[in-house]
Copies of this chain bind each other. A is one copy, B any other.
Amino acid sequence: MFKLKAKLIDMETGGTAVVTVFEEFAKANDLHMMERVLVQFDSKQLVAVLDTSEKMIGPGEIGIFEDVWRKLAIKEGDTVEITPIGKPESTKYIRKKMDHEELDDNEIKQIVKDIVDEKLTDVELVAFVSASYMAGLNLAETASLTKAIVDTGGKLNLKKKPILDKHSVGGVPGNRVTMVIVPIIASLGLTIPKTSSRAITSPAGTADTMEVLADVSFSIDELTEIVKKTNGCIVWGGAINLAAADDKLIRVRNPLSLDPEGMMLASIMAKKLAVGATHIVFDLPIGEEAKLQTLGEARHLEREFIRLGEMFKLNIKTVVTDGNEPIGFGVGPLLEARDVLWLLKKDKRGPADLRSKATMLTGSLLELCGKAKEGTGQAIAEKQIENGQALKKMLEIIEAQGGDPKVNPDSLQPGQYTLDYKAERTGRITKLSNAAITKIARASGAPADQESGVYLHKKFNNNVKEGEKIFTVYSKSERNIDRVVKLIQELNPIVIT
């Protein structure tokens, strides 16, 4: 055990806590970079990773980053104790997986616990992700991982059944079916506590889009109240920390675009289990530029969802959908929220493809939980839009989530700077690239600027006349429009033949 004088560093490290000691001091005391130490101050303690420095830190000092000094309430000059401790047990299990061995329930539980407790370094996390990717996780391991993620995260306990849920596999811009499905289901008296994600590489996640109309960050207690009142919600899953371990794994998965299937399945399923879902419909869009590119891939994933669902006694249905072009007209938080409201208001500007896809998925969900006979679900869903109940429920949910229930889609104004992309010739649109529209919408400012995005006047297979507008780009910033101009030249987003 060593006593050192705290030197506060006004910076966060993020991830694992780090403390820094003088290099010569470390050497003389056989302390090593990346070694773990228990940091103790005034009856409080945490585990940190040791770093060494030649300059910033003097011989008797210890450099403490903001994450640590805040947690332990350390002030400049305080005496802090550090004690070297071994590696967490879970590093052995990570090593075991690297040796292509199967991990049991307890081993995976321990890894996930150490991830959540921030006891594993990035190096160890990457090793775990790499090993899971290369050696694969079998069904039992995937189930263990799912369970461990659920057990270490927040949980919603509504004490009723059935709890309905849906999940769309990604890669299709504008796919805001959740915002239509939830009010329809809730308007039928069924419970659907939907948590959604924010955009990572897309122009808008459902949480970003809902945020145009209402708050999306709530505690579990607040969420419980909202759902009790309205039967449904559309909130950001990140706020209730449903899958803390998963978020940390994703941080190291992204730079290498590594998506170990078992981790992806566990990540999705854990979020469903965390809200207590009993009946889930999976939307599997297939498209050249979507996440799933072939029917074979979709069928494989379908099987995996069903097998994993069976382990948790979940009722699961999968629906393969068309992911070849954006859904709806708007791409970007505000434009997508406007589409949804137009649709629910039966305004003629409401996108037909979004409506038919959403009611079809809703129908499947109703049939899955026995609230509709086979083949009758979609008609029931359509009726809830026609009779205005879905809109009414949506406004209730918006109000329950702190938004304005009198919201008018026509007062949702997209960014003031615009750019029209016009048909270069008369003909039929034979390509409308998801990837290009995504890039253009992001360059315009989405999702950070809600008002930015792309509005499609024409869609795949539509006939167009030369000079006719195909899409309009909206942005809050003129500079972004300049970027978009260049990007469009590179991307060739539309093909007319």
In the bound complex, how far is the Cα of B27 from the Cα of A384, in angstroms? 38
Find chain B residues with CB under 8 A from A124 CB. 255-256
In the bound complex, how far is the Cα of B133 from the Cα of A300, in angstroms? 29
Contact (Cβ within 8 A) A27 B448 = yes
In the bound complex, how far is the Cα of B95 from the Cα of A443, in angstroms? 27
Interface range for A? 35 or more
**Interface positions of A from 110 to 139, Cβ below 8 Å from B:** 121-124, 126-127, 130-131, 133-135
Q: Please name the residue on chain B nearest to A446 by beta carbon.
A: B30
Contact among B10, B54, B133 for A98, CB-based, below 8 A: B133
Q: Digitize A63-87: 1 where CB-to-B-CB distance is under 8 Å, 0 elsewhere.
A: 0001000000000000000000000
A311 on interface, CB distance cutoff 8 Å: no
Find chain B residues with CB under 8 A from A258 CB. 95, 98, 127
Contact (Cβ within 8 A) A134 B130 = yes
A268 on interface, CB distance cutoff 8 Å: no
Contact (Cβ within 8 A) A28 B449 = yes
* Total copies of the chain: 2
Find chain B residues with CB under 8 A from A100 CB. 134
Q: How far is the CB of A17 from chain B (nearest CB, A)?
A: 16
In the bound complex, how far is the Cα of B91 from the Cα of A56, in angstroms? 33
A379 on interface, CB distance cutoff 8 Å: no
Contact (Cβ within 8 A) A130 B126 = yes
Contact among B28, B30, B130, B443 for A130, CB-based, below 8 A: B130
> For chain A, what secondary structure do more than half of its interface residues adopt (helix, strand, loop), or is it mixed?
helix
Contact (Cβ within 8 A) A56 B10 = yes
Q: Digitize A6-36: 1 where CB-to-B-CB distance is under 8 Å, 0 elsewhere.
A: 0001111000000000000001101000100
Find chain B residues with CB under 8 A from A94 CB. 256
In the bound complex, how far is the Cα of B181 from the Cα of A282, in angstroms? 70
Find chain B residues with CB under 8 A from A12 CB. 53-56
Contact (Cβ within 8 A) B254 A34 = yes
Find chain B residues with CB under 8 A from A256 CB. 91, 94-95, 98, 123-124, 127
In the bound complex, how far is the Cα of B10 from the Cα of A98, in angstroms? 38
Q: Please name the residue on chain B nearest to A25 by beta carbon.
A: B448
Contact (Cβ within 8 A) A255 B34 = yes
Q: How far is the CB of A164 from chain B (nearest CB, A)?
A: 33
Q: Please name the residue on chain B nearest to A252 by beta carbon.
A: B123
Question: Known contacts A100-B134, A255-B121; is A53 also within 8 Å of B127 by CB?
Answer: no
Q: Please name the residue on chain B nearest to A126 by beta carbon.
A: B126
Question: Known contacts A27-B448, A30-B443, A256-B95; is A123 also within 8 Å of B126 by CB?
Answer: yes
Contact among B30, B133, B254, B442 for A30, CB-based, below 8 A: B442
> Can you add 15 more A-B contacts, CB < 8 Å, to A11-B53, A122-B122, A122-B123?
A10-B55, A11-B55, A28-B445, A28-B448, A30-B442, A95-B258, A98-B130, A123-B255, A123-B256, A124-B256, A127-B130, A130-B130, A130-B134, A131-B134, A134-B135
Q: Which residues of A contact B (CB under 8 A)?
A: 9-12, 27-28, 30, 34, 53-56, 66, 91, 94-95, 98, 100, 121-124, 126-127, 130-131, 133-135, 252, 254-258, 442-443, 445, 448-449
